[in-house]
Amino acid sequence: MIFDSIFGMFSTDMGIDLGTCNTLVCVRGQGIVLNEPSVVAVKRGTNRVLQNGNAVGIVAKEMLGKTPGSISAIRPMKDGVIADFDITEAMLGYFIRKVHNKRGRLWHRPRVVIAIPSGITAVEKRAVLNSAERASARRVYLVEEPMAAAIGAELPVTEPTGSMIVDIGGGTTEVAIISLADISVCESIRVAGDDMDEAIAAHMKRTYNLMIGEQTSERIKIEIGSASPMETEMTQEVRGRDMISGLPRKTNISSEEVREALKEPIGAIIDCVTRTLEKAEPELAADLVDKGIVLAGGGALLRGMDTVLANATGLDVVVAADPLTCVARGTAVYLENLEMWKDTMESDEDEF
C-alpha cells in the first residue's frame, strides 16, 4: 500500500478504452495520451503483425480497404467480441508499451484499468487480462464500458439514484441504468456506427449500382448523416466503382436519402434503449423522468440522435461533453479511486 503510493508518483498507471473502433489511453495527471484506431495490419492469411513496428493504429487504419495482396488490415474487436486473441494481444501490447516506454519508467510496471464491452465472455476477459500482463502491466483491472462511460460523463453513479447512459460505438451499443456504483440493468447489441456505414454502402449499391468503401461510407455518415430531419438538408458527391461497367464513377446523394438508409440501424438502437427502460426498477425509472438519458460514444454525434431518442422515450436526452473520450476519462477516474472501486471490479487477482 505505502509502496504503491510512493511509487505511484513515478508510475505511468493508465486507463484504457479498448473500443471496437478506437483505443484511447489516459494517464494519471496527463489526460489522454494516445487515441488511435483499433486496427492491426497482418500478413494476409496469418495472424502475424507486420514487422515494420508501426503496423498498428493510425498507420494500419490508412491501409483498410487499400492493402496490397500480401497484407490485410484487421479490426480485432470489430463486433465487440475478440475475433482473434493473438491480434488483440499484439494491439493492446503495442499501445501499452508505446505509452509506457515513451514515459520511460521501466523500473516501475504500471497498473492498468481497461474498459471492455459488457458483452464479452469470461474467456475473452481472461485474454485481455493476460495480454495486458504480458505487455508489462503490474496489475490489471477490468471495468464495464457503460460504467466507465457514465463516470466519464460525470453522472452521479455512486449515489442512490438512477443514471442512464447510452454508449453508441462502432461495433456495439451499450445501454445501462446505474445506481450505487453498480449496473442495475444493461443491454448490449451489436448494432452501432459500423452498421450505419454498411447501410449507406448498401443504399449506394441498390440505388446507384455504385460500390463504395468503408471509409467513404463513414465519411458520408459524418458529413451529411442524420437521425431526424435537419433545418437545411444537404447533398454530397460520392465516388466509387460502377457495378456494371466496373469503372470509377461519381454521383450525388442527399441527406434525406442517407437518413432513410440509416432508419434500420437507428431503429435497432431505439429498441435497445426502450427495452432497457422496460426492465428498470420502478424507483430508478422514476429518477429518469427528471434526470433523462446521457449519450456517449462516437454514434452520439450523429445529427438528431438525441432527438429521435427523446421522441421515442419521452425523456430528456443530452449528448455528453466530448462523447468520444468519455470511456477513457472514466477509466482515469477509476485509477484515481482504485481503493474505493477495487471491490466492484474484476481483476487479475480474481479467478474466472
Least distance between Mg ion and beta carbon 339 (Å): 26
Q: Which is nearer to ligand ADP, 146 or 225 (CB)?
A: 225
Using the Cα atoms of residue 129, residue 131, residue 133 and residue 135 in order, give the sign of their dihedral: negative
**Residue with smaller CB distance to Mg ion, 285 or 319:** 319
Least CB distance to Mg ion at residue 152 (A): 10
Q: How far is CA 281 from CA 148, 164, 185, 271, 322, in A?
A: 22, 12, 9, 18, 30
193 binds, among ligand ADP, Mg ion, none (CB under 5 to 8 A by kind): ligand ADP
In single-letter form, the type of residue at position 73 comes to A
Q: Using the rule CB under 5 A, which residue among 169, 225, 299, 304 binds Mg ion?
A: 169
Q: Phi and psi of 197, rounded to 5°?
A: -60, -45
Binding partner of residue 74 among Mg ion, ligand ADP, none, CB cut-off 5 to 8 Å per kind: none
Checking 312-316 for CB contacts under 8 A at 24+ apart, the result is: 312/270, 312/273, 312/274, 313/273, 313/274, 313/277, 315/288, 315/289, 316/291, 316/292
Least distance between Mg ion and beta carbon 283 (Å):
29
For residue 12, the one-letter residue type is: T
User: Does 19 sit near Mg ion (CB under 5 A)?
Assistant: yes
Residue type (1 letter), 175? V
Closest separation between CB of residue 334 and ligand ADP, Å? 17
Stretch that binds Mg ion, among 80-88, 152-160, 169-177, 229-237 (CB under 5 A): 169-177
Rounded distance between C-alpha atoms, residue 244 and residue 224, angstroms: 27
Residues 295 to 334 in contact with ligand ADP, rule: CB under 6 A = 297-299, 301-302, 324
Neighbours of 122 (CB within 10 A): 9
Only segment of 19-27, 96-104, 180-188, 267-275 that touches ligand ADP (CB under 6 A): 19-27
Quick one: 16 or 324, whose CB is closer to ligand ADP?
324
Choose the stretch contacting ligand ADP; rule: CB under 6 A; options: 17-25, 98-106, 175-183, 229-237: 17-25
DSSP run (H or E) holding 22: strand 22-27
Q: In whole angstroms, how close is the CB of 39 to Mg ion at the nearest point?
A: 15
Residue selected from 169, 240, 265, 330 as contacting ligand ADP according to rule CB under 6 A: 169
Give the C-alpha separation, 55 to 58, whole Å: 8
Nearer to Mg ion, 110 or 298 (CB): 298
Stretch that binds ligand ADP, among 27-35, 61-69, 167-175, 236-244 (CB under 6 A): 167-175
Site for Mg ion in 47-76 (CB under 5 A): none
Which 190-229 residues touch ligand ADP, going by CB under 6 A? 193-194, 218, 221-222, 225
Query: What own/partner pairs with CB < 8 Å and gap ≥ 24 does 281-289 have?
Result: 281/162, 281/184, 281/185, 283/162, 284/161, 284/162, 284/177, 284/179, 284/184, 285/162, 286/162, 287/161, 287/162, 287/163, 287/179, 288/162, 288/164, 288/177, 288/315, 289/315
Return the C-alpha cell found at 52.
515494420
Which of 93, 225 has the CB closer to ligand ADP?
225
CB of 115 to Mg ion, least distance (A): 7
Q: Which stretch binds ligand ADP (CB under 6 A): 3-11, 82-90, 122-130, 165-173?
A: 165-173
Q: Measuring CA to CA, which residue among 27, 2, 29 is closest to residue 12?
A: 27
Interface residues with Mg ion (CB under 5 A) are 19, 169
Site residues for ligand ADP per CB under 6 A: 19-22, 169-171, 193-194, 218, 221-222, 225, 297-299, 301-302, 324
